[in-house]
Amino acid sequence: MRNGGRLRAGRDDRLCLGCGSSLPPPFLDLGSTPLANAYLRPERAKLPEETFPLAVAYCANCHLVQLADRVLPDRMFGEYLYFSSYSDSFLNHACRMVNEMIQRFGLDGTSRVLEIASNDGYLLQYFLRRGVRVLGVEPARNIAAEATRNGIPTLTCFFGPEAVSEIQARFGFADLIIGNNVLAHVPTVNDFLSAAAACLKPDGAAVFEFPYVKELLDKSEFDTIYHEHVFYYSLSAVEILARRTGLEVFDVERQPIHGGSLRVFLQRPGRRPSAVRVETMLRQERDEGLTDAEHFVSFGLQVEALKRQLVSMLQQLKFSGNRLAAYGAPAKGNTLLNYCCIGSELLEFTVDRSPHKQGMLLPGSHLPILPPEELTARRPDYALILPWNIAGEIVDQQLEYLRAGGRFIVPIPEPRILEHGA
Ligand SMILES: [Zn+2]
């Protein structure tokens, strides 16, 4: 039972965080790893790192894919190194989303937009420029402070039932609530959505984006699994969840961001007609196995095969005398490296554009994070791209490295090599 997780005390009596029914054993076990955002200062390299089990289970009753073990959120979000504004593609996505929302919901100077997990104000800044009133809610103190410095009104707290009265008093009810990449992070998701419903005007809409579990399965994106991501949603799961919390799905769109996301539109029941594509996607999900436990079990086996393939590729390159490094220091990279047990014996370092990460070490693998210029300066033969979802952007920025003979490895959906002119 090396992979079944039954040996771990207490897991058998885990209950689904959505519907409360008993959870089956995990379909994928990524081992016990440090938190994916627990970047280390070099002086702490010799100290023991705290690790937590990382395994995913599927609830056949409400279709929610979720972590089998959970870490308390305040362990994870007190200080957070992910500043949204450091990724160009993320900013472009936010700007486009704002334009679409303003047009679709007819927002103007009288409208109010509330963003949950507003980060450094990367998205709300575009609403502000269009004269729309905004409030951000952001639990990470350092990031909320940066947003406030940038002129984005921000409450520093977790969004949930206890935040509702302060939001209503300070801001009123919202025409639009946006929550990008937050729904997956909140273990008490029933309370969270009920609180969102409580902050909405009667005709208001709540729009959430999150990585789509179908993409995770179809493209082997197992590295989007980490302790901060409690849930991996299908529309089938969100539809049940919304109904439970007094909301309904009235539209859904697929978005290319983060390796493939869903954007769902929620409202109080019956306020607008439901788009036909909601029913279409629910039917497709049933047809494709997203509501079938066996489908998830075969995914677990597929991930184990990918791990063997990537490690063997890197080992062969290294043993043939190549120097290897990594590019990027995203949380997902830590899942990938730690699950595959790839560390400094294979990769020399990684580089990242965020000055907040430079000088730190990746959790678990302890690769040092250097500025991007070091890639051309130190010129490893191969660099493993950890944020593979923006591989195109990275290649464009690193033409000098490629022209000098450097090559990139994209690990997912299956390991492949990119070189200049290829
Ligand atoms: Zn359930």
pLDDT tens for 327-361 read 999 989 999 999 999 999 999 999 999 898 999 99
Whole-prediction pTM: 0.85
pLDDT in tens, 363-408: 999 999 999 999 999 999 999 999 998 899 999 999 999 999 999 9
Q: Give the C-alpha separation, 279 to 277, whole Å.
A: 5
Mean pLDDT of 57-67: 97
- pLDDT of 162: 96
Lowest mean pLDDT among 5-19, 140-154, 203-217, 312-326: 5-19
Q: Give the C-alpha separation, 389 to 360, whole Å.
A: 23
pLDDT bucket at 196, cuts 50 / 70 / 90: very high
- pLDDT of 206: 98
pLDDT bucket at 77, cuts 50 / 70 / 90: low
- pLDDT of 285: 98
pLDDT score of 297 more than 50: yes
Residue 178 C-alpha to ligand 1 middle, in angstroms?
Answer: 25
- pLDDT of 4: 35
Q: What residue ranges in 332-415 does DSSP mark as E strands?
A: 350-351, 369-370, 382-385, 407-410
Residue 101 C-alpha to ligand 1 middle, in angstroms?
Answer: 31
Residue 191 C-alpha to ligand 1 middle, in angstroms?
Answer: 15
Residue 66 C-alpha to ligand 1 middle, in angstroms?
Answer: 9
In terms of C-beta density within 10 A (0-12 exposed, 13-18 middle, 19 or more buried), how is residue 32 classed?
A: middle
- pLDDT of 422: 64
pLDDT score of 11 more than 60: no
Residue 85 C-alpha to ligand 1 middle, in angstroms?
Answer: 35
- pLDDT of 72: 61
Query: Which residues have a Cβ under 8 Å from the Cβ of 421 and sit 6 or more positions away?
Result: none
- pLDDT of 270: 95
Residue 166 C-alpha to ligand 1 middle, in angstroms?
Answer: 31
Residue 34 C-alpha to ligand 1 middle, in angstroms?
Answer: 27
pLDDT in tens, 78-106: 555 455 556 787 899 999 999 999 999 99
- pLDDT of 83: 56
pLDDT in tens, 393-402: 999 999 999 9
Q: Say if CB 191 and CB 162 are below 8 A apart.
A: no
Helix 189-199 to helix 164-171 angle (10° resolution) is 20
Residue 12 C-alpha to ligand 1 middle, in angstroms?
Answer: 15
Residue 325 C-alpha to ligand 1 middle, in angstroms?
Answer: 41
The mean predicted confidence, pLDDT, of the chain is: 92
Q: Give the C-alpha separation, 46 to 91, whole Å.
A: 37
Q: Say if CB 277 and CB 252 are below 8 A apart.
A: yes
Task: Report which of 387, 384, 389 is spatially closest to residue 418, judged by C-alpha positions.
Answer: 384
